[in-house]
């Protein structure tokens, strides 16, 4: 079920972008598997026209995403640095093309929504969704800042960076003074 939904979504993107299908078409008949921790592998076979279909065949290439705390948000934002968290095994040329498509293939949500509700409403819905997402990010940042102030100022469980730097400098001065005292004691005792 998950594989079929993934393939349908991927084909939706591929149908809208002829350049993407042209990049996959030379690999017709080959299969690929996308893996991520705690998720089932998603296998698909590349068709002659550059679209994909679900398959149970062994994959010629496997791409394993090492999910970390920052990888998934980076992937969703379309950032390239998450690629360092992908382990590739198998056909390197096919893996390169798949990774290129991951980086450059984008879903035009507004266009798809416009086909259902019209251009103006689709634009307004996306503006509202963007505003809601921005509001949630700002609210989370304010909560985090308030929590940090509470932990640092009220409960004094953590120290500010400037305080730690000052403490580090004081420790270095103390260490140097202690070394000088040890040297003097060594000269007096010897």
- Same domain for 188 and 98: no
The token duo for 141 is 């940042």
pTM of the predicted model, to two decimals? 0.56
Domain region containing 47: 2-104
- Domain end marker among 71, 88, 104: 104
The DSSP secondary-structure symbol of 68 reads -
- Same domain for 37 and 99: yes
- Same domain for 79 and 45: yes
Q: What are phi and psi of 173, to 5 degrees?
A: -65, -45
Q: What is the pLDDT at residue 2?
A: 77
Average pLDDT, the chain: 83
Residue 97 has pLDDT above 60, yes or no: yes
Vertex 168: Cα angle to 167 and 173 (nearest 5): 95
- Same domain for 94 and 64: yes
4-51: per-residue pLDDT in tens?
888 898 998 898 889 999 999 999 988 988 887 777 788 899 999 999
- Same domain for 177 and 87: no
151-180: per-residue pLDDT in tens?
878 877 778 888 889 999 999 999 999 999
- Same domain for 88 and 13: yes
Q: What does DSSP say about strands 61-65 and 52-54: parallel, antiparallel, or unpaired?
A: unpaired
Residue 139 has pLDDT above 60, yes or no: yes
Residue 181 has pLDDT above 90, yes or no: yes
Q: What is the pLDDT at residue 176?
A: 95
- Same domain for 116 and 69: no
């Amino acid at each position: 079920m998950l594989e079929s939904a993934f393939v349908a979504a991927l084909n939706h993107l591929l149908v809208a972008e002829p350049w993407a299908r042209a990049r996959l078409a030379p690999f017709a008949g080959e299969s690929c598997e996308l893996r991520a921790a705690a998720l089932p592998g998603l296998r698909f076979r590349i068709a002659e026209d550059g679209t994909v279909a679900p398959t149970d065949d062994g994959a010629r290439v496997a791409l394993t995403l090492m999910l970390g705390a920052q990888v998934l948000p980076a992937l969703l934002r379309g950032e390239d640095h998450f690629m360092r968290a992908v382990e590739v095994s198998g056909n390197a040329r096919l893996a390169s093309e798949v990774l290129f498509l991951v980086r450059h293939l984008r879903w035009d949500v507004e266009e798809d929504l416009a086909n259902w509700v019209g251009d103006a409403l689709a634009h307004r819905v996306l503006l509202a969704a963007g505003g809601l997402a921005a509001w949630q990010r700002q609210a989370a940042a304010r909560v985090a800042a308030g929590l940090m102030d509470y932990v640092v100022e009220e409960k004094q469980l953590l120290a500010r960076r400037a305080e730690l730097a000052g403490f580090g400098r004081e420790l270095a001065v103390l260490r140097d003074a202690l070394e000088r005292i040890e040297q003097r004691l060594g000269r007096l005792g010897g």
